[in-house]
């Protein structure tokens, strides 16, 4: 089976993936479990199904790569940086490299973020699955998930999970004949 590129991240209700300074301490539920679904999203299970993580340089600079020492990590950057251990710095066409990885045997590819990197993948329309956790917070400003001038991408809602006010929506791209 062909590998999938899976975007999995959290956004505020108004569409931000981080505060202006890159902070994410606001990514918490509201403490109310009355609407929780029986079925829960299992992030550890998700991680077992991936072997590549793709992130931007700002995420790397915040040491977010440290959680993925047993995965191949690609970091998109405009700088020329030497690879180290499991970290591969890409200053060229990250889309082309990840598309090549997608064609190889292996587990799925986790598109971690940030917004600028994700925007390239959205514009190339190569994300197969979108897992978006909506946090019950309006930030008012920050780093947006969706930038301007994106193509229309029609999705199918596959699953919904609710836990402590956080709603996780799992979408796949609709097949061409469904559009």
Residue 23 lies in a domain: no
**Structure-block tokens of residue 51:** 């072997």
Q: Which of 91, 80, 151, 141 is nearest to 117 (CA)?
A: 91
Q: Is residue 158 part of a domain?
A: yes
Neighbour tally for 173: CB within 10 Å: 18
8 A C-beta contact, residue 5 and residue 94? no
CB-facing half-sphere around the CA of 151: CA atoms within 13 A: 12
For residue 174, is it within any domain?
A: no
Evaluate if pTM is beyond 0.85.
Answer: yes
Which residues touch 114 (CB under 8 Å, ≥6 apart)?
Answer: 17, 18, 55, 56, 58, 59, 143
Query: Residue 117 is part of which domain span?
Result: 5-18+28-167
* Domains held by the chain: number: 1
Q: What is the pLDDT of residues 58-104, one digit of tens each?
A: 999 999 999 999 999 999 999 999 999 999 999 989 999 999 999 99
Q: For 137-165, what is the mean pLDDT?
A: 94
Evaluate whether 73 touches 55 at the Cβ level (below 8 Å). Answer: yes
Q: Is residue 179 part of a domain?
A: no
Ramachandran area for residue 4 (φ above 0: left; ψ -120 to 50: alpha; else beta) = beta
Q: What pLDDT, on a 0 to 100 scale, did the predictor assign at position 1?
A: 58
| Mean pLDDT within 127-132 | 97
| Structure tokens, 34 | 């009355």
**H helical segments located in the chain:** 43-48, 57-61, 94-103, 115-124
Task: Give the single-character DSSP code of 38.
Answer: S
Which residue reads 């970290």 in tokens?
87
Instruction: Report how far residue 58's alpha carbon sits from residue 78's, in angstroms, rounded to the nearest whole number.
Output: 11
Render pLDDT for 14-46 as a digit per residue (tens, 0 to 9).
999 999 998 999 999 999 999 999 999 999 999
Which pLDDT belongs to residue 4? Answer: 97
Query: In this predicted structure, what is the pLDDT of residue 177?
Result: 59
pLDDT value for 178: 56
Each residue's pLDDT tens digit, 111-125: 998 889 999 999 999
Residue 87: inside a domain: yes
User: Is the pLDDT assigned to residue 157 strictly greater than 60?
Assistant: yes
Q: Is residue 43 in a domain?
A: yes
Q: What pLDDT, on a 0 to 100 scale, did the predictor assign at position 98?
A: 96
**The CATH number of the domain where 116 resides is what?**
3.40.430.10
Residue 148 confidence (pLDDT): 86
The Cα 173–Cα 176 span in angstroms is 9
Q: Which pLDDT band holds residue 109 (cuts at 50, 70, 90)?
A: very high
Any domain includes 177: no
**Does residue 51 register a pLDDT over 90?**
yes
Q: Is residue 176 part of a domain?
A: no
């Amino acid at each position: 089976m062909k590998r999938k590129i899976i975007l999995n991240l959290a956004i505020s209700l108004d569409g931000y993936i981080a505060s202006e300074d890159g902070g994410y301490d606001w990514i918490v539920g509201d403490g109310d479990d009355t609407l929780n679904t029986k079925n829960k999203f299992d992030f550890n299970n998700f991680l077992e199904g991936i072997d590549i993580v793709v992130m931007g340089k700002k995420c790397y600079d915040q040491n977010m790569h440290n959680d993925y020492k047993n995965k191949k990590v690609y970091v998109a950057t405009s700088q020329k940086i030497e690879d180290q251990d499991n970290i591969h710095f890409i200053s060229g066409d990250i889309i082309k490299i990840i598309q090549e990885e997608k064609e190889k045997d292996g587990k799925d590819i986790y598109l971690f973020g940030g917004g600028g990197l994700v925007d390239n993948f959205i514009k190339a329309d190569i994300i197969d699955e979108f897992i978006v956790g909506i946090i019950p917070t309006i930030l008012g400003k920050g780093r947006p998930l969706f930038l301007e001038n994106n193509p229309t991408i029609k999705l199918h809602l596959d699953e919904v999970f609710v836990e402590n006010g956080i709603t996780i929506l799992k979408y796949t791209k609709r097949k061409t004949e469904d559009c």
